């Protein structure tokens, strides 16, 4: 399974960009992974193919502990999906048509984060989930 992270809008803060790059590089040691930035607006739907399994990272989504996220990733892998696309929204979130197309919504927390910080938190948690699945000590 390949994981795609599609971010709406740009990550502008250099310290967040650096952190994101560090964790994206680590993720690639465990699973095929690719990230991209797309312009804000309704056009996000055109980035979702009919065959794509799409997950919105959204405050209304299901919340996980780090171990539960690892289990969730494992279940996605077990389904035999060739790719999963995770989407982070821009400063204004997602349009309704994007919610209608999404297969699932997950949340990082009950707290609200900037869209740029949410990207860093997600890639760190994805990396943590992969180390949990491999039984590696990063999680501790």
Whether residue 11 has pLDDT greater than 90: yes
Domain membership of residue 91 as a residue range: 2-139
> At 43, which CATH number?
3.40.1280.10
Q: How many domains are there within the chain?
A: 1
- Average per-residue pLDDT in the chain? 94
Whether residue 48 has pLDDT greater than 90: no
Model pLDDT for residues 28-47, shown as the tens digit of each residue: 999 999 999 998 876 788 88
Whether residue 140 has pLDDT greater than 80: no
DSSP for the chain, written as a single string = -EEEEEEES----HHHHHHHHHHHHHHTTTS-EEEEEE-SSGGGGGG--TT-EEEEEEEEEEE--HHHHHHHHHHHHHTT-SEEEEEE-BTTB--HHHHHH-SEEEES-SS---HHHHHHHHHHHHHHHHHHHHT-GGG-
Task: Note the pLDDT of residue 84.
Answer: 97
């Amino acid at each position: 399974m390949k994981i795609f992270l599609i971010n709406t809008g740009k990550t502008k803060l250099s310290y967040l960009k650096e952190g994101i790059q560090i964790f994206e590089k680590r993720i690639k040691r465990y699973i095929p992974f690719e990230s991209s930035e797309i312009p804000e607006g309704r056009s996000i739907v055109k980035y979702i193919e009919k065959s794509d399994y799409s997950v919105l990272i959204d405050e209304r989504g299901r919340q996980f502990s780090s171990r539960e996220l690892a289990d969730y990733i494992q279940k996605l892998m077990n389904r035999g999906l060739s790719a999963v696309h995770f989407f982070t929204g821009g400063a204004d979130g997602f349009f309704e048509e994007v919610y209608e197309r999404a297969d699932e919504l997950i949340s990082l927390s009950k707290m609200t984060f900037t869209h740029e910080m949410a990207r860093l938190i997600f890639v760190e948690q994805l990396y943590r989930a992969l180390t949990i699945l491999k039984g590696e000590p990063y999680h501790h």
